[in-house]
Amino acid sequence: MKLSVVIVSYNVAYFLEQALLSVRRAAAALGEPVEVFVVDNNSADNSVVMVRDRFPEVLLIENEDNPGFSRANNQALRQAREKPGLSSFSMSRTSGKRSRTITT
């Protein structure tokens, strides 16, 4: 399975961190490569720094403004779809609270 996960974020560093930890655990359990995108909609908190420092494997897209969830989501989906055979999964910053969101 090839999977791409997209998380759109705006000023929610704590919840974003929890979601990314959840994705990391799920990816390890799958034993398959998982590509993770975070699209930051110009957060004023430490979201971007946290992603860079704690999750270097994440593909970070930093917007200079806040285009909204749908546009930001589509930014990452366009990049993910450039890779044939890749399935995409979009989640909100709080989706990580559901423990079996990503399973085989």
Q: In the chain, what percentage of residues exceed pLDDT 70?
A: 78
Task: Answer whether 0.85 is exceeded by the pTM.
Answer: no
DSSP secondary structure code for residue 100 in this structure: T
| Cβ-based burial of 79 (10 A; exposed 0-12, middle 13-18, buried ≥19) | middle
Report residue 104's pLDDT band, with 50, 70 and 90 as the boundaries. very low
Under 8 Å CB-to-CB from 45, ≥6 apart: which residues?
11, 12, 13
Considering the domain 3-94, what is its CATH architecture?
Alpha-Beta Complex (3.90)
Whether residue 11 contacts residue 44, with contact meaning beta carbons closer than 8 Å, is answered with yes
Q: What is the mean pLDDT of residues 69-75?
A: 94
DSSP secondary structure code for residue 55 in this structure: -
- Domain assignments of the chain as residue spans, ordered by start: 3-94
Residue 100 has pLDDT above 80, yes or no: no
